[in-house]
A and B are shown apart, each in its own frame.
Chain A
C-alpha cells in the first residue's frame, strides 16, 4: 500500500515538474532573456525532503529528459546545458541537505547556484570557448533571488502537505 502510494505520488510530482518546467520557459525574467525562475526545482526539493535523494534524482533526470522530448530539444546544445545544470543542482542539494547545516531555503539557493555552474560547465564544451564564463556573474546574481523564491515555495508546499497528510493518514 505504502509503495503504491509513493509510486503514484512520484508520478504526479513528475507530471507537475514537467508542467512547471514548460510553463516557466514562457515566463520571461526581465533583465536577461532566457533566464528561468527554476520552478521545476520545487519538485526536486519537495521529493528530496519527502523521500530521498535517490527518488529526487530519478525524477529530476526523467523530468529533463521528458521535457526535452516534448519540446523537441533532445540532444541539442541546450539539452546538455539543462541536463548538466540539473545534475549539478541535484548533487549539491543532496549534499547540503545531508550535512543538515542549512535549512530548505539555503539548500535551494545553493542548488540554484550550482545549477548555473553546471550550465556554464556544459556551455564551455558546447560552445568550445570559455567566453561563456562571462555570463556567469549575471546568472549567479539572478540565481540567488530565484533560488530563494523556489525554496520558500517548496517549504510552504511541504508544511501544507504535512498538515494535510496527517488528516488523510
Chain B
C-alpha cells in the first residue's frame, strides 16, 4: 500500500528543508530590513482591482488628493471616501460585508513621519490593521479589497 521512506530520501529531505529554510530566511530578512529604506514621497490608496488610486497622500506637499467617488454616502451624507484633514484620516467603504452592509476602512496618515496606518477595519483576522504603521511596506486589506502602496520618487508633482 505505502512504500517506506528510504534512508536516502530521509537524507534528501533534511538537506532540502535546511536549504530552503536558509534561502527563504535570507530572502525574508532582506525584504523586511533592507528593501524599504528610502522615504516615500506619496502613498496611494486603491480600492478593488482598479489601478487608479482613489486617494493619493502627497508627503512632499502635505496634501491629500481625492481622485474619485465611490458612489456611496455615509449616514451623515458625506460621499465616500471621506477625508478628515483635522484628524488626518481617510474613511472609505471596503468590500467586507456584515449582514449585507459594507464595512468602512479607516486609514490615518502622518506627514511628518511619512507614514500610513490602517486604524479601523472589519475582517476575520484584521491582518491589515495589525500590520501597524508603514512607511514603505504595502498594506493590503484583502477581504475589503483596499490596498495602500507607496511611491518613492524625488520629483515634485505640483501642478
Contact = CB atoms under 8 A, between A and B. Distances in A.
Contacts of B124: 25
A4 B21 CA distance: 42
Contacts, number: 109
B140 A141 contact: no
A106 interface: yes
A137 B51 CA distance: 24
| Contact-residue bracket for chain B | 35 or more
Interface string B132-147: 0000011010110101
A140 B27 CA distance: 9
Interface in B28-70: 28, 30-32, 35, 46, 48-51
| Contact-residue bracket for chain A | 35 or more
Interface of A: 25, 33-34, 49-50, 76-78, 81, 100-106, 109-110, 113, 123, 125-129, 131-132, 134-135, 137-138, 140-141, 143-145, 148, 151, 155, 158, 162, 165
Interface of B: 1-2, 5-6, 9-10, 12-14, 16-17, 20-21, 24-25, 27-28, 30-32, 35, 46, 48-51, 95, 124-127, 130, 137-138, 140, 142-143, 145, 147, 149
